[in-house]
Homo-oligomer: A and B are copies of this chain.
Amino acid sequence: MSAIRLVDDLAPSSPNADWMDTILKGDCVAALERLPEKSVDVIFADPPYNLQLDGDLHRPDQSKVDAVDDAWDQFESFAAYDAFTRAWLLAARRVLKPNGTIWVIGSYHNIFRVGSSLQDLGYWILNDVVWRKTNPMPNFRGRRFQNAHETMIWATRDQNAKGYTFNYDALKAANDDLQMRTDWLFPICTGGERLKDEAGAKVHPTQKPEALLARVLMASSRPGDVVLDPFFGSGTTGAVAKRLGRRFVGIEREQAYIDAATARIAAVEPLEAPELASMTGKRAEPRVAFVSLIESGLVAPGTLLSDSRRRWTASVRADGTLAIGSEAGSIHRMGARVQGLDACNGWTFWHYEAGGKMKPIDDLRRQVRDGMVVGGA
């Protein structure tokens, strides 16, 4: 399994499909053009993001951020990136079966170019799916929101392709009998899953988590289906495809990535069916921001909060901070401040009055979490 061959060695219309479960070495478009048309069920593509980074970025502790500055991510202009995108999307479309689907992942740097090109070429978008990261890199300079997600586009070959695979019931069953939504929560790829070389350096700068690929393939493919990844990299798509009983084809230019992916995939043991269910289940919900109580109308700006014994009182401001006199800060900071402590859980410390009784604002947080607040006002 997963022999490597150069693109030139490929027999284009081989009836026994000897390119199955292999990595094709070479340029993405050239390799795609050698594959038989209408031969793959699902394409998962993680193309260069065209990050356009300028200069170094340091963390607050002055350590340097290891940026993605590889040559393969450098494009001269949006026009050049668009040309690249259209070329590989066009070649990919020829290879896709009429009822096959394509997934492309990207960030705000490139995903709008990809989405427009998909539409321009006749692909029909089914969903955009958001990968919410449990542990994204912070915004070190505090100049933007923490970039905590990436976007995937899922599309058919054309508008009239209605027979695509979507395992609706399996996903629903795996999601507490609720429809699987378009926002997915997964950690980034770290720890033992992340491929490292002998020196301990990461093999590939943008290795995707297997859990993400598992949900993609569980949703949109069936056992025995052929999954193509035109930017194979460290081979996550191949590893997950093999584990889930799918066949794969990878295209990759760099030998170092091919070597790492080959070894990785060789070590994969295909899973039995019952083991797959747990991988698609939903993840725990994260925190509730105090400001969301204000935004949802549960707490009005100007509301007075006190501790349970009414020793201290503070005023809620529209921006989600608490004010006492001229001082303001988070519910936690201000709770610590009045008590002269280093830390304080503002959710349980601060109370509001309801029916003559003092109740912790944690009660309101629970209402937001449980979805009891709909509409606000």
A residues near B, CB below 8 A? 54, 58, 62, 78, 107-109, 111-116, 118-120, 125-130, 132, 134-136, 138-139, 142-149, 151, 153-154, 159, 166-183, 185-187, 189-194, 209-212, 214-215, 218-219, 244, 271-272, 274-279, 281, 287, 289-292, 294-297, 301-302, 315-321, 323, 328-330, 332-333, 339, 341-344, 371, 373-377
Docked Cα-Cα span, A344 to B58, in Å, equals 11
Q: Among the listed B134, B138, B170, B183, which residue makes an inter-chain contact with A319, where contact means beta carbons less than 8 Å apart?
A: B170
Q: Report A237 CB to chain B, min CB distance, Å.
A: 15
Q: Once the chains bind, are A181 and B136 in contact (CB under 8 Å)?
A: yes
Q: Once the chains bind, are A275 and B183 in contact (CB under 8 Å)?
A: no
Q: Once the chains bind, are B376 and A209 in contact (CB under 8 Å)?
A: yes
Pairs A–B under 8 Å by Cβ, sample size 12 = A112-B115, A112-B118, A134-B374, A146-B181, A170-B319, A177-B332, A209-B375, A211-B295, A275-B317, A276-B319, A277-B328, A278-B318
Docked Cα-Cα span, A298 to B21, in Å, equals 28
Q: Once the chains bind, are B175 and A147 in contact (CB under 8 Å)?
A: no
Residues of chain B within 8 A of A54, CB atoms compared = 159
Residues of chain B within 8 A of A180, CB atoms compared = 145-146, 289
Q: Once the chains bind, are B174 and A279 in contact (CB under 8 Å)?
A: no
Docked Cα-Cα span, A127 to B139, in Å, equals 11
Q: Once the chains bind, are A318 and B275 in contact (CB under 8 Å)?
A: yes
Q: Report A85 CB to chain B, min CB distance, Å.
A: 11
Q: Once the chains bind, are A145 and B129 in contact (CB under 8 Å)?
A: yes
Residues of chain B within 8 A of A301, CB atoms compared = 271, 275-276
| Interface contacts beyond A148-B183, A185-B292: sample of 10 additional A-B pairs, CB < 8 Å, sorted by A | A108-B115, A136-B181, A174-B290, A175-B289, A176-B290, A177-B330, A271-B318, A274-B315, A274-B317, A279-B319
